Amino acid sequence: QVQLAESGGGPVEAGRSLRLSCVGSGFNMDRDCMAWFRQAPGKERDGEGVAVIATSFGGAKYADSVEGRFTISVDRNKKTVYLQMNNLKPEDSGTYFCAREPNSAMCSRSQQWFKFWGPGTQVSVSS
């Protein structure tokens, strides 16, 4: 059974950093597309992820709003995907979801491709 478990969220002041973790179980995480999506307070989850990574070779893509501030990475041995978030802004606040698409050839930021989702971890950035 595939499961994803996020952690690392919490309250933080603007300009500070957080690192989110997503631990996977029930699969190897060696040829997947893994992503982080955000759902802002009171809004629906964004249709495109803030960051995605192909776990086989590490290729990553980012939303324009986080390019240069966020870094997605994977440790395949630990079956863990990370999202390092630096210079956080209040608009980065929300619930962050980890997602998995088993076919890394479909490594797109669009949520329609992702079949497995974690329950989310909340990030609150104060100004």
Query: Model confidence over 54-90: pLDDT tens digits?
Result: 999 889 999 999 999 999 999 999 999 999 999 999 9
Q: Note the residue count of the chain.
A: 127
Residue 80 CA to residue 24 CA, distance in Å, equals 6
**Is the torsion defined by CA of 99, 49, 41, 91 positive or negative?**
positive
Predicted pLDDT at 83: 98
